[in-house]
Every structure is written in structure tokens, then in C-alpha cells.
């Protein structure tokens, strides 16, 4: 961390601060910590410390309102500070930080570095030892669950086993992880980065993911969203990842015979469609009529072999009824999937309809669940449409009304990209990497407005309105065997959120007083 205005008394205001966290002697002990403060004059620095006592090369001192001593030693251009005296008796060997992690240390105001090789050397043996016990515990829990269809127990175990395998592979292949933060006049940016061994499974997989400099939001209609974004995809990489992840699960499904034939067909259909997708854009639209529309209004536009994508989606929906057999049902509620090919034509596009229908018992518990389901999905359950718009683009839409459906088709046909051209999105996008595989924007103002509107309809009226503000921006990208997740939050959003928080606090302190909107 650069100390631009360090205090006098020996500190080097242009130096950097480092903090090291080490494994404790016993697993139950707290981690060992050493902080390195840059100094221009070590003797002047320790001369400002309270209750200073020096023995040889190590000095002890206390902090204000603290009785336990801290210890300090001069390590080159740094003052090493730690509550564990024994650490200062060891010769500092340093940590060699190379590659992408070294760039992160130079680029950020604050960077946290994890030596994954050292972590994995300790964690992997324990993880591999605990893995069979975790799976055994899961098996016992599933057998004791009265709502669980025991035929699907091997499948659930296969899913969990794949998750554990993924964690083990990450530990095996990773060599460093960093998290950095930068604070500037335009806002706050962060970067989470993982670097893998180049010739490892994770390294090769990450390297095969391709970035794009395109906005990745084309085709989405211009309206307000809770969140929206897009992704650039390589069909070969997508197909390989799905095969690696889903293959063991499908083997368990195949062993079940006819009981899981539909679910296996659904997965095959999904793989067939996604393996042709070159890019996709997606958005979760804000409802325009609270109480009369579902909260869930999703738009997904795929670019690739549109006919194959549409066929795979149709097969997936027709075969997905088996998935509902695996899901525990809420008390007093049952669900069923319905699908109708060529159910509607809009703007010359033939669309299949699909929906999840909810049936409720006449009980108080079921009535409460029905109220929540109706709020999220509308009075007719979760409904949607899907179909090929042309040879290259396919649409899937859930929830919303005919206006949303029509505008989505029109925008997708024209490949409109009004969202990325708004001033607020452009300002956030400028703070994020230009080359990225995925971009995602989250509009907190639209989310908060909808939540407040629903609370008002339920009798909890809060006369607070958030002004329009910049969204939070998130990108995922790769650089060789490095994958990174970057975020950007504008100073505009921070200021408006703080203002809204202060206004909300004033309302809570004076609920009967005059309340004004922002």
C-alpha cells in the first residue's frame, strides 16, 4: 500500500506496507502475523513508540489501551512489527511473487496475496482425508430425509462429489491468488485473480476461454433492469467443460434406467444447444406494473446455430419434468412443467411456450406459500416463450407481458445496443478491463425501488426514493492461465447510497416527522 502522506518520525511516506500471515504452530492457535512498515530512519521510528524496551536487535512496545506488548526489528528498509517475538529471531527470507500476482502488487493501492502452493501443500492432504467422510455424511442425511426420493440419492452424491473434485482440482492446479483494491476520484475498483500452473487442467481450461472487446449487451431492449450483461463463448471450450462436469453425473442417471431417462435427455439437450453458442446477452427486467406482473422477468438472447439452440431448448423443456421429481415439494404445493410448441407468433417469429404451474392445497401454510409464489411469478405461475429469431439468434424470455416480449424480439432482430451507450454504463465500463469474457451490471437503484414498492403494497410504506445512479460493473476475463474478476463502483453511486442511508436513518429516528424524497 503506498503511503503518500506518511507521518514524520522515521516512516517512509513513499514506501509500501506489507502484512504476512503464517500458519500457527497448532491448528487451533491464531495465525502468526508480521507487518512491514517502510522506514527512512528506523531509530527515529521506534523512538516514537510507547514503553519502548530494546534487547539486542528486538524492541518491545505497547499500543494505546493495550497491555500486551508488540515487538519490532529492523529488516532492511522496513520495521517488522509482530505480537510474536519469536518470529523476529528468524532471518527474513522473503516471498518470491512472480507473474500475474507481481503485477497486481504493483497495480493496486492494496493487494492481498495468497501463496496457493504453500496453502495447497497443507490443505490437500487434509481435504482428501475428509472427502470420504463428507460424502458418507451426505449419504446418511439423504437416507434420513423422508421427502427425498431415494432413487436419486446416487445422483445427488455425484453432484456433490463433482463440487468436491472441483475444489480439489483448484487447490492442485493453482499457484497464486490475489485480491486488490484501488480508490480513485471516479470510484472504487477491485480485482480478484487466480493464477494456475500453465500445463495443468485448470490452466489449460482457463487459457481456452476467449475474451472479447465487444460490449456483449447487444440485442437487449432499452428499459430498466435489475441486472444485465453478456458473455463471449467458445463452443469447443463450453462443450469440454460441460462434458467434464456433467459426464459423471449422467453416468449415475443412466444407471437408474427409465426413472431418470427424461432428466438425462434434458441434460443432453442442454449440452447440444450450448455447444453451438458463440455469445449471449441477458437481462433481468424491472417490472413496470408492481402487483400485476411477476418479479422474475428474464431475457436471454443466444447467438450461434439458432435452429439447433431452439431445438435443444424445446427438447430440454419437454424432458425436464424429471427434475421436479428430484426436488422436495413445499408442504401443500405441487409443481408441473407444461410446454406447447409453436404456441404464439410475434413479429413473424414462431415461439414455443413453457410454464411451471403451481397447485396449492386449501391450508394456511399453502396460502402463505401461494402469496410468495404469486408475487415472484405472477398469478399464472412461471411462464415464458422461446424460439429462433433468425439463423443466428435465438430468444428465451421468462415472465413479463406482451410488450416486453415484442420489444425483446424487435431489439434482438436489430441487434440494438442502447444499454451500453448510456452515460452511466459507459462511465462504469471505462473503469473495467476492455478485454473480458463476461460483463455484468447490477442496478441497485432499480432493485431498491421495486423492493420498496412491494413493501408498500404489503402495508409497509417507506416514502424513500433512490435517485438514478450508476450500476455496479463486474467483468470476468482471462490472460493465459490467469482468470480474474474485476468490479467497479462509481463515486456517484457511493454518494447517493450514503445520502439515502442517512435519510432512512432520520426516518427511523423521527417516524412521525416530515419525510422528503431524494
User: How do residues 251-277 score in pLDDT, each as one tens digit?
Assistant: 888 888 877 787 788 888 889 889 999
The pLDDT score that the predictor gives to residue 517 is 42
The three cell numbers locating residue 221: 431492449
* Predicted pLDDT at 325: 59
Residue 197's SS3 state is coil
Distance CA 42, CA 65 (A): 24
- Cell triple for residue 19? 502484512
Contact 222, 287 (CB under 8 A): no
- Maximum distance among all alpha carbons in the chain? 86
pLDDT at residue 475, rounded to an integer: 98
Comparing CA positions, the residue from 486, 274, 504, 286 lying closest to residue 396 is 274
Write down the pLDDT at residue 216: 94
Other CB atoms closer than 10 Å to residue 475's CB: what's the count? 25
In whole angstroms, what is the distance from residue 35 CA to residue 21 CA?
A: 9
Helices (H), 348-443: 364-377, 402-414, 423-429
**Beta partners for residue 285, in sequence order:** 225
Task: Please give the C-alpha separations between residue 33 and each of 83, 87, 93, 94, 425, in angstroms, as whole numbers.
Answer: 7, 9, 15, 14, 41
Residue 76 DSSP label: T
The grid coordinates listed for 340 are 406447447
Extract the residue ranges of the chain whose pLDDT is less than 50: 1-7, 514-518
Inter-residue contact 38 to 3 (CB < 8 Å): yes
Q: Distance between CA atoms of 430 and 184, rounded to whole angstroms?
A: 13
Helix intervals (H) in 397-443: 402-414, 423-429
CA distances from 105 to 96, 101, 176, 195 (A): 12, 6, 12, 14
- Full 3-state SS string of 329-341: CCCCEEEEEEEEE
For residue 385 the three cell numbers come to 416463450
- 408: which 3 cell numbers? 425483446
Domain ranges for the chain = 18-94, 156-428+478-483, 429-477+484-518
**Sign of the C-alpha dihedral computed for residues 129, 133, 136 and 138 taken in this order:** negative
Q: Which three cell numbers stand for residue 17?
A: 506496507
pLDDT at 140: 85
pLDDT of residue 511: 58
* pTM score of the predicted model: 0.83
Cα 342 to Cα 94, 186, 338, 369, 382, distances in angstroms: 67, 49, 13, 32, 18
The per-residue pLDDT for 3 is 33
Amino acid at each position: 500500500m503506498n503511503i503518500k502522506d506518511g507521518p514524520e518520525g522515521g516512516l517512509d511516506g513513499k514506501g509500501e506496507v506489507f502484512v504476512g500471515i503464517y500458519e500457527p504452530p497448532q491448528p487451533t492457535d491464531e495465525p502468526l502475523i508480521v507487518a512491514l512498515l517502510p522506514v527512512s530512519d528506523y531509530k527515529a521510528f521506534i523512538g516514537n513508540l510507547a514503553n519502548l524496551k530494546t534487547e539486542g536487535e528486538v524492541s518491545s512496545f505497547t499500543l494505546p489501551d493495550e497491555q500486551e506488548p508488540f515487538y519490532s526489528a529492523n529488516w532492511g528498509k522496513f520495521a517488522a512489527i509482530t505480537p510474536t517475538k519469536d518470529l523476529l529471531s528468524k532471518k527474513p527470507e522473503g516471498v518470491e511473487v512472480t507473474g500475474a500476482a507481481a503485477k497486481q502488487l504493483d497495480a493496486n493501492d492494496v493487494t492481498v496475496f495468497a501463496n496457493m502452493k504453500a496453502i495447497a501443500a497443507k490443505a490437500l492432504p487434509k481435504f482428501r482425508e475428509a472427502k470420504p467422510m463428507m460424502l458418507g455424511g451426505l449419504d446418511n442425511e439423504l437416507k434420513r430425509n423422508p421427502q427425498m426420493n431415494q432413487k436419486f440419492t446416487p445422483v445427488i452424491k455425484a453432484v456433490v462429489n463433482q463440487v468436491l473434485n472441483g475444489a480439489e482440482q483448484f487447490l492442485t492446479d493453482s499457484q497464486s491468488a490475489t485480491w486488490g483494491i484501488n480508490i480513485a476520484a471516479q470510484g472504487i475498483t477491485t480485482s480478484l485473480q487466480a493464477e494456475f500452473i500453465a500445463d495443468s487442467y485448470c490452466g489449460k481450461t482457463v487459457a481456452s476461454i476467449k475474451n472479447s472487446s465487444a460490449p456483449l449487451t447487444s440485442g437487449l431492449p432499452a428499459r430498466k433492469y435489475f441486472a444485465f450483461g453478456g458473455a463471449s463463448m467458445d463452443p469447443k471450450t463450453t462443450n469440454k467443460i460441460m462434458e467434464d462436469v456433467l459426464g459423471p453425473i449422467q453416468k449415475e442417471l443412466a444407471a437408474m434406467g427409465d426413472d431418470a431417462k427424461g432428466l438425462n435427455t434434458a441434460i443432453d439437450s442442454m449440452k447440444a444447444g450450448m455447444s453451438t453458442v458463440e455469445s449471449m446477452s441477458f437481462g433481468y427486467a424491472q417490472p413496470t406494473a408492481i402487483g400485476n406482473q411477476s418479479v422474475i422477468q428474464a431475457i436471454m438472447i443466444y447467438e450461434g446455430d439458432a435452429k439447433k439452440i431452439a431445438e435443444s431448448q424445446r427438447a430440454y423443456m419437454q424432458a425436464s419434468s424429471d427434475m421436479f421429481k428430484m426436488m422436495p415439494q413445499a408442504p401443500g404445493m405441487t409443481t408441473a412443467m407444461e410446454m406447447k410448441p409453436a404456441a404464439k407468433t410475434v413479429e413473424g417469429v414462431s415461439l414455443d411456450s413453457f410454464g411451471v404451474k403451481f397447485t396449492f392445497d386449501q391450508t394456511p401454510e399453502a396460502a402463505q406459500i401461494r402469496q410468495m409464489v404469486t408475487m415472484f411469478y405472477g398469478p399464472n405461475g412461471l411462464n415464458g416463450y422461446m424460439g429462433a429469431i433468425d439463423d443466428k439468434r435465438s430468444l428465451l424470455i421468462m415472465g413479463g407481458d406482451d410488450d416486453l416480449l415484442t420489444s425483446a424480439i424487435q431489439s434482438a432482430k436489430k441487434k440494438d445496443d442502447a444499454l451500453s451507450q448510456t452515460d452511466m454504463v459507459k462511465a462504469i465500463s471505462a473503469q473495467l478491463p476492455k478485454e473480458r469474457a463476461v460483463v455484468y451490471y447490477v442496478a441497485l437503484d432499480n432493485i431498491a425501488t421495486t423492493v420498496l414498492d412491494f413493501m408498500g403494497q404489503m402495508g409497509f410504506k417507506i416514502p424513500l426514493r433512490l435517485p438514478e445512479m450508476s450500476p455496479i460493473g463486474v467483468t470476468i476475463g482471462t490472460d493465459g492461465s490467469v482468470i480474474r474478476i474485476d468490479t467497479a463502483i462509481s463515486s456517484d453511486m457511493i454518494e447517493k447510497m450514503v445520502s439515502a442511508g442517512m435519510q432512512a436513518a432520520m426516518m427511523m429516528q423521527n417516524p412521525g416527522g416530515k419525510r422528503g424524497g431524494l
